[in-house]
Copies of this chain bind each other. A is one copy, B any other.
Amino acid sequence: MQNDHFQPHDHARCISTALDAAERFCAAQGLRLTPVRKRTLEILLSEHRALGAYDILAKLDADGFGSQPPVAYRALDFLTANGFAHKVEALNAYVACTHPGAEHAPAFLICRSCGVVEEAEAAPDKGPLARAAREAGFAIERAVVEAQGTCPACRSAHP
């Protein structure tokens, strides 16, 4: 794992790196990282926990963007469509991507105790699921891979 957000780390750097990557990617692809979209990404980046759409909406509203659900969902659609954020299906919540820009198949480690979500690589062509799919002749287009458990920090804190 190249990074480990369960441990203390330079989080300001997480934010600036990801934001910077998103800005470059949008510039290169002719995508518009508008104020709501950028702010939504900043909100997600502010923690390594998954936030519900309505949590995000409340913050956007406080910042003078609209107060209606589509405000948040549209921004999230943009961010997830372009790989800047992901939806965590098991939580119905959203998390900023830690290696944005490139196409990738994310997998998540979700700590039940502190709520931190760590992103890993799903490697969709390897592992038992891929084998089952090949045997059945099933063509995988997208994989949801989300592990819930306890992170090392929480385990040593509450033994």
Q: Give the contact stretch, choosing among A13-21, A23-31, A45-53, A139-147.
A: A139-147
Chain A at the B interface: SS class = mixed
A120 touches B109 (CB 8 A): no
A142 touches B149 (CB 8 A): yes
A115 to chain B, nearest CB (A): 13
User: How many copies of the polypeptide does the oligomer hold?
Assistant: 2
Question: How far apart are the CA atoms of A148 and B138 in the complex, in Å?
Answer: 9
A134–chain B nearest beta-carbon distance, Å: 10
A residues 108-159 near B (Cβ < 8 Å) are: 109, 111-112, 118, 120-124, 126-129, 132-133, 135-152, 155
> Quick check: A143 and B145 within 8 Å, CB to CB?
yes
Instruction: Please judge, given known A-B contacts A89-B144, A144-B89, whether A138 and B151 are in contact too, CB under 8 Å.
Output: yes
Which 3 interchain pairs have the tightest Cβ spacing? A127-B127, A137-B152, A120-B132
Q: Which residues of A line the B interface, CB within 8 A?
A: 1, 4, 6, 89-90, 92, 107, 109, 111-112, 118, 120-124, 126-129, 132-133, 135-152, 155
